[in-house]
Amino acid sequence: MNVTAPLAEHYAICAVTHLGEASENVVHVGSDAGELAVKVFAAADSETAGREAALLLALAPPDARYRVQTLVPTSGGELFAHTSDGAILVTRWHQAEKKAYTSIVEAEWRVLGSELAALHTRLDDFTGTLPRASEIVIDLDAERAAIEAARSRATAKDPARAPIFCRYLDARRSLLDARGARGLRAPTVPELPIHNDYNQHNYLFDGRLPPIILDWEGAIAAPREYEVVRCMNHLPLVAAAHASAFVSGYRSVRDLDPIGLRWAVDRSLLEHAVKSWPLERWLAGLPGAERALAGSMEVLQALHDGVAALERFFGVEAS
């Protein structure tokens, strides 16, 4: 991705050196303004760029309990720049690393929990418009049909692994049937701003805590309990001490509503049941899809087999 021209035009940043691509839409550059992360948005996603910029601005006042990227405004003072084919959003580059969830230690999980609660607290007063979790439409019958279609395609592509795919898709169908109606109920607790992708892929560790939290473009309004449950995934089942540290860290800053947790568990299980993109990417033969699918299958199977234990962990087993 060539971002030299828009940086010069909108940011008056010149002498740009391409240092690499951090992701599919983020370019790492060196410049006369220092090292930067340039996030590129297609024209259809310009509204998303504005949403992320507004959230970073709201989170910018210093708070030792959390860290996010530092927004770089345009030379005209705008939060992001509209370009001829979309938009770009520029932040300061951080020399740091991501860690697999298996490499994050208990003390770090505790800090990640308290950091999330601090972020939620700061965003209690955010006035921007965000999509609401309750407005996301899931057609249960269409999802059942999609699972069966995926079964035929996956087993045809790799017949030797047909039993593995069938077990995975059976688990998805079982969760869909068990949690579909419950997960579609409207929440009865407030829907407030959340990151909506608070996981290992968006934590940056640079030797001091808390880590830097990346990528606010997918933010929505939802019960805060939903983010806690969702970002844990299957951690309560495979590393209960780490999951407990996270929840304890969160509760050291703010409470979790039992009614919100009940809704969040049901909704999260439903969304795992309809999570089709890892298999679709694998069917399309895209780079990295095999690894992503393996991880998704591991999480899904653990959740399917451990529903009762997951509910006990969050204290909602009697509901």
pLDDT, tens only, 10-37: 999 988 899 999 888 999 999 988 999 9
Residues of the chain with pLDDT under 70: 318-319
Determine the pLDDT at residue 69: 95
How much is the pTM? Answer: 0.94
Determine the pLDDT at residue 319: 55
Residue 277: phi and psi, rounded to 5, are -60, -35
- Identify which of 293, 301, 314 has the alpha carbon closest to the alpha carbon of residue 175: 301
Nearest-5° angle of CA 40, CA 59, CA 195? 65
Q: Give, to the nearest 10 degrees, the angle between helix 224-232 and helix 106-122.
A: 160
Residues 235 and 245: their CA atoms lie apart, in Å, by 11
Determine the pLDDT at residue 318: 62
